[in-house]
Amino acid sequence: MPTITIRAHGVSATRNQTVVNPETGEIVKLTAFQPPERTATKGWTPNVARRNEQRLQQIDFDAIDGIPAFVTLTMPSQQMGEVSAADFHGWLKRWLQFMKRHGLQHYYWILEFQASGNPHLHVLVWLDHEPEPLETFKALRSWVGILNKSGVGARLQGQIWENIDVGGELVVDGETVPAHPEHVLMYLAKHAARGVAHYQRQIENMPDDWQYRSGRVWGHDRGLPLRVQEDFETDYPTFHCFRRLVRRWRLAEARAIADPERRRLAISQARRCLKCSRPDISPYRGVSAWIPSDVASQLLDAAEAMGGDYEEE
């Protein structure tokens, strides 16, 4: 049976993989009968990107008390051959410890790789106070100091701290996005999900040590408020109808984007979200989208009421 999952800021609809329990004869979900094998983390994969996006969709922004800011931390690419994944994660841990001593309440980080194989970090932080310019300078300088003590000649000019002024705009990796923690993380999640095959995430473009065991490529503090997702098992008519309604909602949202180029790309992505060249897979192709939970619930109610009778115009 298909399952529709509703999260705080997103939804997914997938067909469950099932097997027959040889002891009881019961049809059960494959994940319940045979848990996935744990393997060494090797950078960004489709599954890693999917788990990152789903976790981001669970964040309860209304429950977070704090002043948000967006931080980008980098290091010189010419020294990457001397840096292991363990080194880099150790630096991140020490920087977060420094920030906790200076008012850090919550954080979410994502690791990316540039064309040179050089890793850099995007970190969304929430502080318990509005930071002064001197404080943000010291925060960036602490990262540079941590690297310099390890023999890496990092520069302060390569680090970025941007306060998130809700209602304004923010530049993330050269693209302008609305200044809100949810929109920033939404951009990073979409960038990760659609860019697994991009040079920034291809395993062969990582430094040698990273190709075997990169460690986690995203993470957050344990206290970050999350909303529990809701799972609904449905029949196939409802599943198919729900997918089409999600596609239609995505198109409506895309057409409302003011920027012409972003609108064109969003419309194109929405139109392609259910397309599949294989007839045997197409009827069972899942769908995933950033949709508010109340809207997702309304779409599910509509799909159940239509009973699969919905058709595109």
- For the stretch 242-256, pLDDT in tens is 999 999 999 998 999
User: Residue 201 sits in which domain range?
Assistant: 47-220
- What is the structure's pLDDT at 73? 93
- What is the structure's pLDDT at 36? 47
Does residue 313 lie in a domain region?
A: no
Tell me how far apart the alpha carbons of residues 290 and 193 are, in angstroms, rounded to a whole number. Answer: 12
- What is the structure's pLDDT at 30? 46
Asked whether residue 125 carries a pLDDT value surpassing 90, the answer given is: yes
Domain boundary among 191, 220, 249: 220
- What is the structure's pLDDT at 178? 64
Higher pLDDT, 85 or 170: 85
- What is the structure's pLDDT at 119? 77
In the predicted model, what is the mean pLDDT of residues 161-179?
A: 67
The model's confidence at residue 188, banded by pLDDT at 50, 70 and 90, is low
- What is the structure's pLDDT at 21? 55
Q: Is 245 in a helix, a strand, or coil? A: helix
- For the stretch 261-283, pLDDT in tens is 888 988 998 998 888 888 888 88
- Whether 103 and 125 share a structural domain: yes
Asked whether residue 9 carries a pLDDT value surpassing 60, the answer given is: yes
Number of domains composing the chain: 2
Does residue 154 lie in a domain region?
A: yes
What percentage of the chain reaches a pLDDT higher than 70? 73
- Whether 75 and 200 share a structural domain: yes
- Whether 106 and 184 share a structural domain: yes
Does residue 296 lie in a domain region?
A: yes
Tell me how far apart the alpha carbons of residues 243 and 103 are, in angstroms, rounded to a whole number. Answer: 43
- Whether 155 and 62 share a structural domain: yes
In the predicted model, what is the mean pLDDT of residues 218-234?
A: 93
Asked whether residue 142 carries a pLDDT value surpassing 90, the answer given is: yes
- Whether 152 and 61 share a structural domain: yes
- Whether 72 and 177 share a structural domain: yes
- Whether 60 and 172 share a structural domain: yes
- Whether 32 and 53 share a structural domain: no
Domain boundary among 154, 186, 220: 220
- Whether 8 and 74 share a structural domain: no
In the predicted model, what is the mean pLDDT of residues 31-52?
A: 66
- What is the structure's pLDDT at 107? 95
This prediction has a pTM of: 0.82
Asked whether residue 60 carries a pLDDT value surpassing 80, the answer given is: yes
Higher pLDDT, 35 or 141: 141
Tell me how far apart the alpha carbons of residues 15 and 251 are, in angstroms, rounded to a whole number. Answer: 23
As a dihedral over the C-alpha atoms of residue 232, residue 218, residue 215, residue 196, rounded to 10 degrees, the angle is 80
Domain boundary among 195, 220, 245: 220
- Whether 52 and 201 share a structural domain: yes
Asked whether residue 221 carries a pLDDT value surpassing 70, the answer given is: yes
Residue 183 makes CB contacts below 8 A (sequence gap 6+) with 177
